[in-house]
Amino acid sequence: MKIVICAKEVLDPDAVDNYVLVGKLEIGNDGKTLTQKAIPRLMNGYDEQAIECALQLRDAGLDCKIHVVAVATDPTKILQHAVAMGADEVAAIPVDTGTVDGYATASLLAAFVRSLGGADLVLCGRQASDGDQAVVPGLLGEMLKMPIVTVARAVQMAGGTTVRVTRVTPDGDEIVEVSCPAVITISNEFGAPRYPTGMRTMKARKVKPQQVTPDSLSLGEGGGRPRMTMTRQFVEAIAGNCEFIQGSSPAAAAQELLKRLRADRVIE
């Protein structure tokens, strides 16, 4: 069985959040790029969990080859991390990250999967922690004519080519089955990805990902063309009008708070 995981390189969202919280996020002269060098670049956390999902299927006895592919300016580091986690093959599709949108990315990934002769399972993170768009898996599924199952907390083989997926929905868990080939997106509820040993990480640093240029992929007529262009990024100012309630004791503060909330008719 062939499993392809699509991985994205992102800026550490926690670091971005920290800079925003202290009001020090820097945006470059182009008005959209986050420029702070101190913000680490790493693999999208949900994509790591997608790799973990594939590794767990293998641990459960599935005979499979695990490919990880990334579309980015230079995704070498995250692909080496994928190898350290246990991926068999890694491929980089080098493009200027700033020039592609979800549509173009999905077109490249679809063409890559076709160039492998297809895949039985395509696993993606539920969304990328930078743009939060979550559109690539849906686009990719359509382009590959595969069914799509989103936000999985558990994935297991259920006999033959049937996969059983537990989805995290707003109404609780839903269990579905789908036949391969299929696209499945993995949610944070899947659980923490394994942390590769130092030895594996050292060894993976020597791995050079296969370079697959966009020109070498058959994208079809105009297929790889981006539809959307990001033109601006900014931090929205928060007004902030918090009134701090003082009290000589927790009990006094509690009483004072209730008094205010009742006066505002927030509670009865």
Partner 1 sequence: MSNSVVVCTWDQGRKGTPAGAEETLTLARNLAAAAGLELNWVVAGPAPDRVPEIAAKYGVVHLDRIENAKLADFQPDVCVEALAQYCKEHTPKLVLIPQTFDARLVAPRLAARAGAGVVMNALELAVENGTVRVTASAYGGDTRVVYELTGAESCVVGVLADMLLAEAPEGKAAEPAVRQVSVDLGGVEERVRIIQKAHLEGPRLEEAQIIVSGGMGLGQKENFRLVEDLAQALGGMAAASRPVVENGWIDSSRQVGLTGKITRPVLYLGAGISGASQHMVGCTAAKTIVAINKDPDAAIFKYARYGIVGDAMEILPEITKAVKGA
55 binds partner 1 (CB under 8 A): no
* Contact pattern for partner 1 over residues 117 through 136, marking x by CB under 8 A: ---------x--xxxxxxxx
Site for partner 1 in 72-91 (CB under 8 A): none
Q: For residue 47, give the nearest of 15, 14, 19, 87 by alpha carbon.
A: 87
* Contact pattern for partner 1 over residues 180 through 219, marking x by CB under 8 A: --x----xxx------------------------------
Site for partner 1 in 141-160 (CB under 8 A): 141-143, 147-150
What pairs with residue 182 in β-bridges?
A: 121
38 binds partner 1 (CB under 8 A): no
Asked if 79 and 55 touch (Cβ cutoff 8 Å), the reply is no
Interface with partner 1: number of residues (CB under 8 A) = 81
Smallest gap from Cβ 245 to partner 1, in A, equals 5
Asked if 44 and 70 touch (Cβ cutoff 8 Å), the reply is no
Other Cβ atoms less than 10 A from the Cβ of 161: the count is 14
- Which part of the chain contacts partner 1 (CB under 8 A), choosing from 66-74, 90-98, 173-181, 196-204? 173-181
Q: For residue 123, give the nearest of 85, 174, 180, 80 by alpha carbon.
A: 180
Separation between Cα atoms, residue 78 and residue 257, nearest integer Å = 49
Smallest gap from Cβ 90 to partner 1, in A, equals 25
Q: For residue 6, give the nearest of 86, 106, 96, 104 by alpha carbon.
A: 106
Radius of gyration of the chain (CA): 22
Decide whether 153 or 203 has the Cβ nearer to partner 1.
153
Other Cβ atoms less than 10 A from the Cβ of 127: the count is 22
Q: Which amino acid is at 134?
A: A
Smallest gap from Cβ 263 to partner 1, in A, equals 11
Site for partner 1 in 216-235 (CB under 8 A): 225-235
Decide whether 9 or 89 has the Cβ nearer to partner 1.
9
What pairs with residue 3 in β-bridges?
A: 66, 121
Smallest gap from Cβ 28 to partner 1, in A, equals 13
115 binds partner 1 (CB under 8 A): no
Choose which of 164, 194, 200, 203 interacts with partner 1 (CB under 8 A): 164
Separation between Cα atoms, residue 263 and residue 164, nearest integer Å = 53
Smallest gap from Cβ 43 to partner 1, in A, equals 16
